[in-house]
């Protein structure tokens, strides 16, 4: 199969390359294709004629999405719409990634695919608009909601915290929970989903839930870092965007593809850092 990956220089885009190695992968970064450009998207997909498009491009600055409305909406809502229109007209399936931040966090049990999204932030609303466009415009879609991505080489929360580990203490939010997801596990699960050809909306995230405080505490302990990790409530970190207090994801949708537990993802992350991968 020939597979086009958009946003190919991001942490998820790059993780697809080893996972899909039995396929022909064409991975295109932001510098070569801007998904907000409708004509360019159509022209690129028509010229490359892939059997599947995987969109990993996104504007992931949750707080920045509140002030930078035009760019955030263009990338997270209009971009997926452009991809959905082009792929539908060329009869190509589309895999698109979304977020746990489409939920408001009012539940106290893991969110499954049948739960109703109610985003609290501009980022969540834009990502939901992107999902809805894909769902409406291309019937052959895989919409994959995931959460709290981390990988050794990527731009992510754990690497930001590691960069602060020269301090004696770091303060980390303890009253917000979700599903930390190791990016190579997500790419492998998404590849397994593609193999099934089961279209629809799926939650693929590290199994189990935890807070950022517990995640950083365990990560620093595995890395034998001396920095003290202090728990602080979200209310002590005033930020422009509201975030769900609880957005752990689970799946109830066949073919029930599940990822390893988040702690296994963290162990692999630490091994990858230690071996310099
Ligand atoms: N990261 C998380 O914790 C998280 C959580 C839940 C869901 N997700 C979703 O998972 C997916 C993958 O996220 P990720 O962590 O791999 O993100 P990432 O590392 O930030 O990568 C996103 C890529 O998209 C590119 N991009 C931005 N605007 C673009 C545009 N207009 N056209 C084409 N490319 C563009 C970026 O390029 P530049 O850097 O050059 O702009 C970047 O390479 C996204 O859909 C994201 O919303 C992520």
CB of 97 within 6 A of ligand 1: the answer is yes
Give the pair of three-digit tokens for residue 27. Answer: 């991975």
Q: In whole angstroms, give the CA distance from residue 84 to residue 80.
A: 6
Output the residue whose Cα is nearest ligand 1's atom 46. Answer: 58
- Alpha helices in 74-116, H assignment, sequence order: 79-89
Distance CA 79, CA 104 (A): 24
* Cα-to-centroid distance, 32 and ligand 1 (Å): 15
Which CATH fold topology does 2-274 show? Rossmann fold (3.40.50)
pLDDT of residue 91: 98
Confidence at residue 276, expressed as pLDDT on a 0 to 100 scale: 82
Decide whether any atom of ligand 1 lies within 6 Å of the 36 Cβ.
Answer: yes
**Cα 51 to Cα 94: distance, rounded to the nearest angstrom:** 9
Which pLDDT does position 277 carry in this prediction?
Answer: 62
Mean pLDDT, residues 178-204: 97
Please tell me the predicted confidence (pLDDT) of residue 72: 98
Q: Using one digit for the tens of pLDDT, what is the confidence trace for 123-166?
A: 999 999 999 999 999 999 999 999 999 999 999 999 999 999 99
Residue 155: predicted pLDDT: 92
Supply the mean pLDDT for the chain.
Answer: 97
Positions marked active-site? 123
Task: Name the closest-CA residue to atom 41, ligand 1.
Answer: 30
- State the closest ligand 1 atom to the C-alpha of 55, by its place in the atom list counted from 1: 45
pLDDT in tens, 8-53: 999 999 999 999 999 999 999 999 999 999 999 999 999 999 999 9
d(CA 55, CA 57): 6
- To test the ligand 1 pocket, which listed residue (96, 149, 158, 186) has its Cβ within 8 A of the most ligand atoms? 149
Handedness of CA 72, 235, 120, 254 (dihedral sign): positive
pLDDT of residue 70 exceeding 90: yes
Ligand 1 probe mutation, 14, 54, 58, 147, most atoms within 8 A of CB: 58
Domain ranges of the chain: 2-274
Let me know: does 171 contact 124? Beta carbons within 8 Å: no
What whole-number distance in Å separates Cα of residue 65 and Cα of residue 190?
26
Is 260 near ligand 1, meaning CB less than 6 Å away? no
The finding on whether 9 has its CB within 6 A of some atom of ligand 1 is: yes
30 in contact with ligand 1, CB cutoff 6 A: yes
């Amino acid at each position: 199969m020939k597979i086009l990956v958009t946003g190919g220089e991001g942490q998820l885009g790059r993780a697809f390359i080893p996972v899909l190695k039995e396929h022909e992968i064409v991975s295109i970064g932001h510098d070569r294709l801007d998904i907000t450009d409708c004509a360019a998207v159509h022209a690129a997909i028509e010229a490359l004629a892939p059997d599947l498009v995987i969109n990993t491009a996104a504007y992931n600055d949750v707080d920045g999405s509140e002030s930078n409305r035009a760019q955030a909406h263009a990338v997270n809502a209009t971009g997926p719409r452009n991809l959905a229109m082009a792929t539908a007209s060329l009869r190509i399936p589309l895999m698109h990634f979304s977020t746990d931040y489409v939920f408001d966090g009012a539940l106290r049990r893991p969110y499954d695919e049948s739960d109703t999204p109610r985003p609290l932030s501009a980022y969540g609303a834009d990502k939901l608009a992107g999902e809805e466009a894909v769902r409406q415009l291309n019937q052959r879609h895989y919409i994959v909601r995931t959460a709290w991505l981390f990988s050794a080489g990527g731009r992510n929360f754990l690497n930001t915290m590691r960069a602060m580990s020269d301090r004696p203490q770091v303060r980390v939010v303890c009253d917000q929970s979700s599903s930390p997801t190791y990016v190579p596990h997500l790419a492998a699960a998404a590849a397994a989903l593609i193999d099934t050809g089961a279209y629809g909306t799926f939650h693929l995230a590290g199994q189990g839930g935890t807070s950022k405080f517990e995640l950083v505490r365990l990560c620093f302990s595995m890395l034998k870092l001396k920095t003290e990790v202090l728990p602080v409530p979200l209310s002590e970190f005033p930020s422009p965007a509201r975030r769900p207090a609880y957005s752990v994801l689970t799946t109830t949708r066949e073919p029930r593809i599940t990822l390893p537990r988040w702690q296994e993802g963290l162990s692999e992350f630490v091994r990858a850092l230690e071996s310099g991968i």
